[in-house]
Copies of this chain bind each other. A is one copy, B any other.
Amino acid sequence: MHGLILDNFAMHISLNDEEKERVLSKLQYKEIGKNTTLLKAGKVCANIYFVNKGCLRIFHKDAENAEHNILFCPENWWLADIVSFSEQTPAFYTIAALENTEVFYFSYADLEQLYVEVPKLERFFRILIQNGFNLYQHRITSNLSKPAEERYELFRRQYPGLEQRISQKHIASYLGITPVFLSLIRKKKYQKH
């Protein structure tokens, strides 16, 4: 049941049985149907989620009502509108499901209490944010320096197998190009082989 998430904690910190117990006691579970919204921009992000199965996306809806995917979160990803969650203020981003998805999550209050009971978690989540910071920094770097075609390749390498699971329009939005143009890139690519 909790295999994936315990392995995930183990990547950065080691918890003894008692600590595992405490952590799991606060853990909640939820299923989100495909295309359902988990967090809507403007609401406070009440929980921090771990994806056990399926795939979520974080996106921004701009003034023209266009959606821009800033992150895909398949199995093993943690996600929240970080600022909204940690400051309990209205969210800027929306979170929705691309597939039927299972998540585990902590509420804000429970996580605060866990930080006291299991201080190692502070370290865990600090590393998590640091990794996210790093991911975004590299993403900005490649957005600045690389054409769409290479960014598409990068996406394929960073999310192995995900391309088969989600629609091209979402990938295009993530890359910052139109679905039409992504279609052209792919056509060009496959004609070469």
Chain A residues near B (Cβ < 8 Å): 60, 62, 66, 68, 70, 82-83, 86, 92-93, 122, 126, 129-130, 132-134, 136-141, 143-145, 173, 176
Contacts and interface: CB of A to CB of B under 8 A. Distances in A.
How many protomers of this protein does the assembly include?
2
Contacts of A141: 60, 68, 70
A111 to B, nearest CB: 13
Given A62-B145, A145-B62, A145-B66, A82 B140 contact: no
A86 B86 CA distance: 22
A162 B126 CA distance: 31
B126 A122 contact: yes
B83 A130 contact: yes
B173 A130 contact: no
A4 B72 CA distance: 39
Contacts of A122: 122, 126
Contacts of A145: 60, 62, 66, 68
A173 B140 CA distance: 12
A13 to B, nearest CB: 14
